[in-house]
Each structure stands twice: as structure tokens, then as C-alpha cells.
Amino acid sequence: MNNKVYIFDSTLRDGSQAQGISFSVKDKLKITKKLDELGVSYIEAGNPGSNPKDAEFFEKVKDLELKNSKLCAFGSTRKANIKVEEDNNLQALLDSGVDVFCIFGKTWDFHVTEIIKTTLEENLAMIKESIQYLKAFNKEVIFDAEHFFDGFKNNSDYALKVLSTAKEAGADWIVLCDTNGGVLPSSIKPTVDFLVSIGFKNLGIHCHNDSGTAVANSLIAVEAGVRQVQGTFTGLGERCGNANLSTIIPNLMLKMNFEVIPLENLDKLVSDYRYICEVSNIIPNDREAYVGSCAFAHKGGMHVDAVQKNPISFEHVSPLKVGNERTVLMSEVAGRSTLMSMINKVDPGVTKDSEATGRIMKRLKELEHMGYQFEGAEGSFELLVIKELGLFKPSFELIEYRVMIDEPSRTDRSSTVTMKIKVNGVLEVTAADGNGPVNALDKALRKALSVFYPSISSMYLTDYKVRVIGGDKASSAKVRVLIESTDGNTTWTTVGVSYDIVEASWKALVDSVEYRLLEDEKVNINK
């Protein structure tokens, strides 16, 4: 059997139906380019007949030279009781300029009679005539059998008639859709096995995640003979989302030995996942399989010790294969091995018995007693190690900052910060307005530093958490601020503690900036 699985990415179409997602044409072009570079087989870019934005995209995408992917336009079969030549949706597909069309048709008799209000015979005619019409223009046609599994369960004879009609009309692919996302894995394999046994080839699978089994359903379908998998790269989609391709791709390649994307591109998976999350304006899921920042994070001391001896003890694959990295978390359950792994990341020459190790351990305990917590704040902990090893050189010196809060606020910009910093003896004075004091501080600091360090303008905050320490002291208690920052490719987290929430935020902000500039320095040294 063919060992190639074709990935059909629907981030730009099905993903755009997710709550809170709205792609601009520019966003869609960026994601298209990234998916093509990764090497997915098909990019479903939208419905040119549904809205002006998609129509504009299909016009502008003609300027992109795709090297690996086929661009696909999405639409439906013709409407009931009209000629295919008169159907505006089909004409929009043909006008889009692409060579692959994905059209959906009803497979569940309930939908035919109760939703689109036509006869079962007319629905079959709509499917047959639409596919034949598009094939006459020498186009590749993918038929999405909408609600197939529900239709097969409730009226298998009619559902099979729909598939047979599409096959006889010349569809290049027939995709089995779990449109409601309610099918469990136990139903997938016997259904696909049956279809393969009666002669259906070039089958695809399209699963929604309403039962939390979209990835499992997709993998089982491939095991049974399906060779096209539809989904979205981040799992975005209507309701609970679609099958997550960032999980499916490495599973198919690393666990099931299928050809999916070029092998040399697999280590781009994490960076591409984060890039698409960034363009989609969503926060990456830390606990996502393979690509999440927690996917290869180790906390327990015994686990860390075992991983250092042999990674396969607690890692199912090497993080490097998908472009991820192993993370060792500092916490109350972490042992000396955990501490050493992080120290040796900075200085491989330091041992467990080194004087520096004892000094770092002592400082760590002092800060934890003050309320600091370095689990998940790897940026601040690395800076702590660098400082205790005497390797730290501050990137700037704060002269002063002043925070002014406008209350009651008349605009979104309720706070203003004025700031003076000095870099290598050069004074820089700046000011910034923000939506609250922390936002204003962040903007003012990056604005001042960008004069000396241009790369700092590409970083920004993605998450901000505040935890009250010692809540019994009410408003006089300490607060711990955790800040997550990104430059669009990597993310890092820093921490600050103080009785003053602004000061705690400032400490975390400074660590965030220093960590980023330190990473820039490492890159420059390695060049």
C-alpha cells in the first residue's frame, strides 16, 4: 500500500471559523508561505464565492510561487434545482485561478431532507453534475462527504450511494467527514475497512474535535487505508476545533513511518507552529504534544536524573526531531541533578562539588524564601546563574522612572511612564502611554532600549500573571509577577517579587529584556 500520506491544511478556511479568529489577507498570505515551506500537500485557502476577503486573497496569492503545496479553493455543490452553469459558487471556484477544488455535499439523508430541503435524488444529481462540471475544466476535485459517519450510521445505503456517485463522477479524492466531531475511534476503523474492501481508493479523513478524539480518529483512519488527512496546523476550527496537524504529522512520520512532509523539514515544526499561532493572534498551547513548551519539560528530581543518564527513560522521541528542546524545571521537588543541568547550560565546567554550585543553591533558597518561584521562569533562573558565576554584564542602567496614572481614565491609555536609562554612558530619556502602568513601563523600556539595541523592538509580552504571596496580609502582602515574552520564534518567562506590584513587574520586565539581549549576544558569538 502507498506509504505517502497527503496533508490537507485547512487553517485558512476551517481554522478561520474558530471563535476569536479573523485573518487579514496579509495574514493568509503569510501562513500560506509558511505552510508551503513546511511542505504540506494541500493548502485550503478559503471560499472565493463567500466573501470579498477570500476573493482578494485568491487574486493576490497568484504572486506567490509555491514550491511544495497545491493551493485549493473551497465551495459546495451546486444549489438544488439550478444548472451548474448558473451556480455562482461554482463559477467563483473556476474564477479563483487555482487548479484544485474541494467541494462538499450532503451524505446524511437527514441533512438533505431537513436542512437543504430537497430530495435524495436531487442531492445525488447535485453532487454528480458539480464534480463532472469542474472535471471538464481539467481540475483536481476533492469531494468532502459532509456528515459521512452520521449518515452511514443512520442510513448506510444512502451514504454509500453518495460516495459511489462522487467516485463515478470522477472525484480525485473522497474525504470522509466527521463534521459534528462525535465519532469515537472504535467506529472509524471498521467503517474505513469496509469502504476499502468494496473498492474505494484515494480516501481522506476530516475530523472535528468535539469528542476530543480528532487526532486519534485521523491516525486510525490512516492505519485502515486513508491517504489524505485534513486538519488545521494549530487545531483551530469551529466549536472545539479540527484535527491538529502539528500532532498528526510527527505521529505519522516518527511513529508510523509514513512519508508526509520532507524529512528535513520536520525540525521546523515547533517554530512554524509558533509562527502560525503568532499570525493567528493566539497564545501557543504549552501542553501541546510535540510542539508545546511543556512537551519535553521535566520537574521531578528522579525523572531529571534518569533523562540525563538516558533520554529515552522519560522521552518518547528526541525533542530535536521536531525542533523542540528539553526543559528542566526548578521547583521544590527538583534535585541537585536538576540544578546542575541548568548550571551546565551556562558553564559546562561547573560540577556538583564546585564552590559556585553551593553559592547558587544558597542564593536560590534565599530568593525562594523571599517569594520567588523559578519553576516556569527559566529566563530569570538562567540570569541568576550567570550573575552568581560572575558572568553578567548589565545591558543598561536605570536612572529613574516615574509612573502617572490618570484616574478616572478618559482613554484606553490610562497611564504614562517617563524613563531615564543609560547605556555605555549615553543617557536616553523617553516616555510612553499605556493601558495601565505595566503596559506603559514595557513600552517605555523597549522604546528607550531600541535606540541602542534595534532587535528589542521585535519582542513583546504574551502573558502576565500576578500571584499574591501571604494573602493573610491583605493589601500589604507581597506579589509575584510572571511575565511571558516572545520574539515571534521563541518564548521565555521571567519573574519578579515585591510588595509593590509595579516594582515586581519592573523586575520581571528587566529580566525579560536582559534575557533577550543575552540570547542575541550568543547568536552573534556563534556567527
Q: What is the pLDDT of residues 306-363, one digit of tens each?
A: 877 787 888 899 999 999 888 776 654 455 666 777 788 889 888 888 888 888 888 8
Q: Would you state the pLDDT for residue 333?
A: 47
Polymer length in residues for the chain: 527
Confidence of residue 364 (pLDDT cuts 50, 70, 90): confident
Mean pLDDT score, 133-155: 97
pLDDT of residue 408 exceeding 60: yes
pLDDT at 295 over 70: yes
pLDDT for res 472: 56
Q: Could you tell me which of 134, 81, 77, 140 has the C-alpha nearest to residue 107?
A: 77
Taking residues 416-422, what's their average pLDDT?
Answer: 95
Which amino acid does the sequence have at 489? N
Q: Which of 431, 441, 442 is nearest to 486 (CA)?
A: 442
Residue 527 binned pLDDT confidence (cut-offs 50, 70, 90): very low
Predicted pLDDT at 469: 81
pLDDT at position 332 = 46
Average pLDDT value for residue range 233-250 = 96
Please give the pLDDT value at position 286. 86
Non-local CB neighbours of 460 within 8 Å, separated by 6+ positions = 442, 446, 485, 486
pLDDT(9) > 50: yes
Cell numbers that stand for 150 in this block: 452520521
Distance CA 116, CA 108 (A): 11
Q: What pLDDT does 430 receive?
A: 95
Interatomic CA distance for residues 501 and 154, integer angstroms? 59
- What digits encode the pLDDT tens for the residues 151-191? 999 999 999 999 999 999 999 999 999 999 999 999 999 99
Mean pLDDT, range 395-418, rounded to an integer? 85
Q: What is the pLDDT of residues 425-461, one digit of tens each?
A: 999 999 999 988 999 999 999 999 999 999 898 888 8
**CB neighbours (10 Å) of residue 22?**
10
Residue with grid cell 471538464, as numbered in its chain = 136
pLDDT reading at 101 higher than 80: yes
Q: Is the backbone of residue 241 left (phi > 0), alpha (psi -120 to 50) or beta?
A: left
Residue-wise pLDDT tens digits, 475-515: 667 899 999 998 877 888 899 999 999 999 999 999 999 99
pLDDT in tens, 28-41: 999 999 999 999 99
Q: Which domains does the chain have, with CATH numbers?
A: 6-261 (3.20.20.70), 297-370 (no CATH), 397-526 (3.30.160.270)
Residue 358 vs residues 300, 319, 349: alpha-carbon distances, Å: 20, 31, 15
Write down the mean pLDDT value for the chain. Answer: 90
